Chains A and B, each alone.
Chain A
């Protein structure tokens, strides 16, 4: 399967712990996005990369959140000192660099903070 993959699919952690998620985009896509989705809501934009450069970050991305895409391929999203309010589905998407483009989403990582 050459779609977007995310790992892990589920993560349960205790408040205060750090967690890291990984996203592998479609190989020829140079744009990679992270979104967060809570129950009953649409996805909310967190950040995006073009190749290895992080070009935009949402106000939702507090200083406890950090994202990297070191070689312009896979990306990691780390949450430090997790809080119960961080519980959500974290979605990764990728796209080509064309102006009008659809985004291809991965299955998501569901985070539960106890």
Chain B
């Protein structure tokens, strides 16, 4: 079953704008990861944030994590047409299930010129 929801389900922006997508989850986590998926390259890992971290940056990506609200956000700044893809958050469990990832339902991002 899916861990939670991503919001919005679909997002359309123009090149150069920022894109923000949100992820909510249900159970305690060890870490949260964001992945990108497009038809050409499959699922690609973007960034991992541990449960004791609140914010993390990687290039044009900024991820926040609020474990009290069981939510995370992914910000893509200065978007490009090549950022067009589906974005998924995935959570790693606390113990026992720590290895598997539980994915959200995804946000479809369309970046137009």
Residues of A within 8 A of B (CB): 31, 33, 35, 40-45, 48, 50, 55-56, 91, 93, 95, 99-108
Contacts and interface: CB of A to CB of B under 8 A. Distances in A.
Contacts of A99: 30, 98
Interface string B87-113: 010101000011111111110000000
Main SS class of interface, B: strand
- What size tier do the contact residues of chain B reach? 20 to 34
Given A42-B103, A42-B105, A100 B48 contact: yes
A31 B44 CA distance: 17
Contacts of A31: 99
24 contacts: A31-B99, A35-B101, A40-B105, A41-B105, A41-B106, A42-B90, A42-B103, A42-B104, A42-B105, A42-B106, A44-B2, A44-B103, A45-B102, A50-B99, A56-B99, A95-B99, A100-B30, A100-B31, A100-B92, A102-B33, A103-B45, A103-B101, A104-B45, A107-B41
Given A42-B103, A55-B99, A105 B43 contact: yes
Interface in B67-104: 88, 90, 92, 97-104
B59 interface: no
A45 B106 contact: no
Given A42-B104, A42-B106, A102-B48, A108 B42 contact: yes
A102 B92 CA distance: 10
